[in-house]
């Protein structure tokens, strides 16, 4: 691709290839989403301070790029990423052919000063380097918001008519939506077709401009020459030598907050460091991509965790695994002393105050079996119907249906169930819930046989007085909650997640 133009009119060593220009544009397009991603990660940790910055990212990034690009255009004659590829921007000569090869060879310094961007040219280039991408991003975001609505709702979406006493803001918004629905798709297509046409013309040396916007402002992109390197080295010498402080009058402060010091020392140093930061960040990005894509990271983490034998987690508020194991035994296994019995309205510190309270003592809930302490709802003060946690030797079984897990699905509490079981349980339509609320089945196991086995055989009619009678108003079926812990599942069935095995 670099030698396509040499097949017809000879090779021009100062003309960059289309491959270089496309690589520079691709690198420039990767910077905004990368910075947005880093800001989004930091916002999760400090949302109070960074949420407004994230919501106004496009505006802040535009202002930042405007400062950086103007500095690089004044100092190096090209943009930030263009200087990384050894490219510059220069004015096109208003002569026949637009070239002066003899003058370029005989007086390169004079030609450089003649073709150097003036102040007006710099602002024209900033308009197409900063303003045009910002406008394109805003239009694309607005189109993505309004176009799907028009496609899904159909003709009813176009019934958005203006009222008789519409304000200026409403009129502008109405015209803007009409432009996005009817005109912007054609404008967007013309934009990309013009880029394609100029790229093909530039590839076959039929145009000196690789973009229609460069043609409009009379600017083209060239490679840096020896005269450019000498001029750049001379202009960047203060930033490269890093003077201790600028000259100051007697009695004048020279701290870092002094405007003169900031403009002559801090500002050039900060922008000059971007030349080192860009290749370093690219290397770090490629290294992270390789690290997450290769098997080396997974094998290393697997070897590091082979010798670890972590105990199972102990969650407060869970029912005991069997009838013979009490809550005091669970607290002794976890290493914490057994707390005294709390009244029914006491809130557990390890759970949200609006979700689950500590289980009530047997004396305060006569309709609950003595050996079973279900979690108590903090708002209704009713016990919540749950199932026992899986035992270590039955981890492959679904805790709800007690069969091998089909389509493993995890709740937000970390326990894994069959997808159909946990979906019906959170939806409140599982047959085990329905049978329990109608008066059948046991509390822990859900079936009569399992409940009798947990309670130690027959003779449970006296202990379990409500068997055979409806439990509506006395129990919660567990709808919208985890089947084991009784904690509420955020977003309901939409909060369930498929487990990839």
3-state secondary structure of 498: strand
Q: Which residues in 322-360 are b (16+ Cβ under 10 Å) and which e?
A: ebeeebeebeeeeeeeeeeeeeeeebbeebeeebbbbbb
Per-residue pLDDT tens for 446-470?
444 444 444 344 333 334 445 567 8
Confidence of residue 159 (pLDDT cuts 50, 70, 90): low
Who wins on pLDDT, 436 or 275? 436
pLDDT, one tens digit per residue, over 101-115 is 666 666 777 878 888
Q: How many CB atoms lie within 10 A of CB 265?
A: 20
Most confident of 4-8, 230-234, 285-289, 329-333: 230-234
Residues with Cβ within 8 Å of residue 53, at least 6 apart in sequence: 39, 43, 60
Answer for the pair 445, 454: CB distance below 8 angstroms, yes or no.
yes
Largest CA-CA distance found in the chain, in angstroms, rounded: 111
Residue 335 has pLDDT above 70, yes or no: no
Helix or strand holding residue 27 (H, E): helix 18-45
Tell me what pLDDT residue 188 has. Answer: 94
Q: What is the pTM of this model?
A: 0.53
CB neighbour list of residue 284: distance below 8 Å, 6 or more residues apart: none
Q: How many CB atoms lie within 10 A of CB 132?
A: 14
498 or 259, which is more confident: 498
Kindly report which listed range (187-191, 196-200, 251-255) carries the lowest average pLDDT score.
251-255
CB 356 within 8 A of CB 375: yes
pLDDT at residue 309 greater than cutoff 90: no
pLDDT of residue 202: 92
The distance of Cα 289 from the centroid of its chain, to the nearest Å, equals 16
> 14 near 223, Cβ under 8 Å?
yes
Helices 57-75 and 132-153: crossing angle in degrees, nearest 10, is: 150
pLDDT of residue 109: 76
The mean per-residue pLDDT over the stretch 384-409 comes to: 86
């Amino acid at each position: 691709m670099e030698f396509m133009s040499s097949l017809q009119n000879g090779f021009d060593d100062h003309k960059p290839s289309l491959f270089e220009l496309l690589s520079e544009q691709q690198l420039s397009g990767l910077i905004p989403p990368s910075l947005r991603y880093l800001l989004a990660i930091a916002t999760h940790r400090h949302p109070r301070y960074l949420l407004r910055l994230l919501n106004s990212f496009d505006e802040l990034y535009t202002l930042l790029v405007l400062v950086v690009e103007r500095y690089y255009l004044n100092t190096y004659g090209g943009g930030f990423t263009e200087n990384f590829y050894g490219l510059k921007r220069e004015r096109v000569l208003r002569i026949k052919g637009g070239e002066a090869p003899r003058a370029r060879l005989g007086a390169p310094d004079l030609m450089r000063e003649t073709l150097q961007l003036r102040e007006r040219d710099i602002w024209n280039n900033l308009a197409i380097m900063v303003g045009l991408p910002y406008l394109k991003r805003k239009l694309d975001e607005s189109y993505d918001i309004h176009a799907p609505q028009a496609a899904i709702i159909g003709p009813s979406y176009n019934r958005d008519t203006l009222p008789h006493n519409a304000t200026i803001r409403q009129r502008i918004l109405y015209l803007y939506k009409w432009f996005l629905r009817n005109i912007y798709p054609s404008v967007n297509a013309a934009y990309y077709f013009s880029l394609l046409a100029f790229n093909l013309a530039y590839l076959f040396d039929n145009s000196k401009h690789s973009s229609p916007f460069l043609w409009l402002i009379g600017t083209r992109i060239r490679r840096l020459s020896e005269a450019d390197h000498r001029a750049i080295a001379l202009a960047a010498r203060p930033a490269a030598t890093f003077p201790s402080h600028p000259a100051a009058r007697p009695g004048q402060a020279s701290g870092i907050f002094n405007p003169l010091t900031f403009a002559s020392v801090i500002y050039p140093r900060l922008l000059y460091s971007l030349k080192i930061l860009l290749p370093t960040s690219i290397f770090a990005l490629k290294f992270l991509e390789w690290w997450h894509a290769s098997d080396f990271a997974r094998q290393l983490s697997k070897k590091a965790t082979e010798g670890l034998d972590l105990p199972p987690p102990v969650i407060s508020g869970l029912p005991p695994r069997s009838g013979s194991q009490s809550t005091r035994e669970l607290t002794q296994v976890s290493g914490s002393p057994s707390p005294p019995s709390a009244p029914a309205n006491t809130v557990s510190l390890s759970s949200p105050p609006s979700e689950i309270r500590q289980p009530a003592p047997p004396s305060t809930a006569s309709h609950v079996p003595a050996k079973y302490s279900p979690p108590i709802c903090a708002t209704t003060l009713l016990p919540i119907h749950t199932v026992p946690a899986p035992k270590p030797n039955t981890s492959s079984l679904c805790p709800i249906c007690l069969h091998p897990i089909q389509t493993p699905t995890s709740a937000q509490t970390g326990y894994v169930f069959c997808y159909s079981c946990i979906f019906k349980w959170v939806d409140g339509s599982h047959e085990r819930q329905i049978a329990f609320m109608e008066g059948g089945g046991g509390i822990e196991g859900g079936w009569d046989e399992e409940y009798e086995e947990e309670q130690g055989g027959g003779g449970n009619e006296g202990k379990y007085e409500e068997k055979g009678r409806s439990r509506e108003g006395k129990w919660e079926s567990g709808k919208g909650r985890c089947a084991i812990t009784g904690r509420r599942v955020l977003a309901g069935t939409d909060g369930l997640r498929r487990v990839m095995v």
